[in-house]
Structure 1
Amino acid sequence: MGYTLFIVASNLIIPIIMLFFGMKFRNHGPEKINSFYGYRTTMSKKNKDTWEFAHLYFGKLWRKIGGVLLIFSLIISVIAFLFNQEIESMICLLLLTVQMVVLIASIFPVEKALKKNFDQNGNRVKGL
């Protein structure tokens, strides 16, 4: 039973982190632009406006993705326990891989939204 709970908890770490930071950044990101905490890309760190926009967008995105990923991960975790330990381990490794790909891929829509709303110098595009 202890092994089962450990595996389920391990499978839920990434979705829970995404939900937590999604909720946190949805309202407001870190106050100051920094290189240690928050959504930190070259475009997001251009100025205060891009920094706030990126965190708001990123927060909404991670909240949605984290919720879907949490439900998906719970279902896959339950299904994985129907198999022997070797297959269960492979399923959990595959689940972790999917979670990491989704986590990293979430950067692309945020950067696309930044480029759509700001020019390369960080000024808002007129008409938006």
Structure 2
Amino acid sequence: MIVFNIVFTLFIPVLMILCGYLMYKHTPKDINGLVGYRTAMSMKNQETWDFANNYCGRLWVKVGVVMTIISALVCVPYFFMSSGKATVIMCIAEVIQVVVLCWTIVPTERSLKDNFDQDGNRKDK
């Protein structure tokens, strides 16, 4: 049961690192509804699409690394507590990780807004 808790505690942060790397290194060539950072603003045109996937991908890697370290530290007490308590801690960690994952939308959209107008044209600096 400890292995299960450790795997699931580390799952989201590690997935963020992997997906983030793919988002900024291998951004989908075409705007699509299946893969990539997909919001109304990011899908305005190819330039906003590339920008958003690059920005969010890099953010996911950074946040994923920090969350992996914190999550690994959270796993240490699993060895010294009952499996029931460890499972509760794992669930709390998962909820926090999902909140952090969703939070990354905010800075990405803010950066899109700072760099592009509402029609997706790059703003003059």
Is this a same-fold pair by TM over 0.5? yes
Q: Which residue of 2 aligns with 1:33?
A: 31
C-alpha displacement of 1:44: 0.2
Q: Which residue of 2 aligns with 1:46?
A: 44
C-alpha displacement of 1:26: 2.1
C-alpha displacement of 1:13: 1.1
> Are the equivalent residues in 2 in contact too, given 1:28–1:52 (CA < 8 A)?
no
Between 80-89 and 22-31, report the one with greater CA deviation. Answer: 80-89
C-alpha displacement of 1:86: 2.1
- Distance in 1 (alpha carbons) for counterparts of 2:4 and 2:12: 14
Report Cα offsets for 1:40-79 as digits up to 9, x if no partner.
0000000000000001101110000000111111110112
TM-score normalised to the size of structure 2?
A: 0.95
Secondary structure at the counterpart of residue 40 of structure 2: coil
C-alpha displacement of 1:89: 1.4
Secondary structure at the counterpart of residue 80 of structure 2: coil
Q: Which residue of 1 aligns with 2:80?
A: 82
C-alpha displacement of 1:6: 1.6
- The one of 101, 104, 107 aligned to 1:106: 104
C-alpha displacement of 1:124: 0.4
Structure 1: 5+ residue stretches without partners: none
Report Cα offsets for 1:1-60 as digits up to 9, x if no partner.
xx2112111111111110001111222411100111110000000000000000110111
- Distance in 2 (alpha carbons) for counterparts of 1:106 and 1:37: 17
Secondary structure at the counterpart of residue 72 of structure 1: helix
Matched-pair identity in %: 40
- The one of 13, 16, 29 aligned to 2:14: 16
Structure 2: 5+ residue stretches without partners: none
Secondary structure at the counterpart of residue 44 of structure 1: coil
- The one of 107, 113, 116 aligned to 2:114: 116
Q: Which has the higher contact order (CA 8 A, sep 6+)?
A: 2
| Amino acid in structure 2 at the alignment position of 1:92 | M
